[in-house]
Structure 1
């Protein structure tokens, strides 16, 4: 049986469509390829974008900024000594881009200038850290990405 070029193009096109549809269904049905949103209510979050930029600028304008580091004990956040630790309020949100179920928040409550997030509560990989904090009536937002081994 001889296939002309028109039939060959139709067969090739049908095979290509089948190939693409197979991968679309595989990604949509397999939980390994979960495609969750980073923020649940994206548009509500987007409305406050201007306020967020002001808080980021406030943190950027500080002469001495908080330092977020990855240590063997976990993630350490060290506030400058010019701040009185008991007057710093806020929370640290840790987002795991690959798995929403691992996200958590830690309240900032300091007796000294250091906050430690223990390594036992952190799974290896990338963590996005959003630290929202207030000091003397002024709001700040510090964003950082840390990789845990």
Structure 2
């Protein structure tokens, strides 16, 4: 079967249009949500965040975020040098925004706050601790794997 130039052009444009329609359909199936809904306000608060990081680095003993054994509680050890701590712990799951949660900073008498991991989604989590002690603000972020 011999195809003339008119038929070839029609086949080419038909395939081209069908591939564009397919790409438009696929792009509507993709989740375009942002990591943070308030990205502009977050950007304006960057200097405060930088100061908190500098304060945290100036501590003799840094805040420790550890998980002694897989499947057990996560321990957040606040340095005794800073004094009584208050603030917020944010558990951020990059894979699922609906799994994120926040906890208030409430260390026990030994300066360690324990967070149970039962019911948490397995995978990568970012633990973000934004806390105040002794009149200064501090920030520490660490990745953990459950």
Q: Same-fold call, TM > 0.5? A: yes
| Structure whose residues are more often helix by fraction | 1
Matched, 1:2 2:6: no
- Which of these two proteins has the greater Rg computed from alpha carbons? 2
Q: Which string of whole-angstrom CA distances, capped at 9 and with x for unpartnered residues, describes residues 89-128 of structure 1?
A: 1111111122222211111122212111101142211211
Correspondence 1:69-148 to 2 at 5 A? 69-71=66-68, 72-84=71-83, 87-110=84-107, 111-148=109-146
Query: Which has more strand, going by share of residues?
Result: 1
Quick check: 1:62 aligned with 2:69? no
Scaled by the length of structure 1, the TM-score of the pair is 0.81
Cα distance in 2 for partners of 1:116, 1:35 equals 35
1:3 Cα deviation (Å)? Answer: 4.9
Cα pair 1:77 1:116 within 8 Å, conserved: yes
Query: For residues 88 and 19 of structure 1, what CA distance do their matches in structure 2 show?
Result: 55
Structure 2 residue matching 1:92: 3-state secondary structure: strand
Tell me if structure 2 keeps the 8 A contact 1:36–1:100. Answer: no
- Number of residue equivalences: 140
**1:116-144 CA-partner distances (Å, limit 9, x unpaired):** 11011422112111101111101001011
TM-score by length of 2: 0.83
Unaligned runs of at least 5 residues, structure 1: 28-33
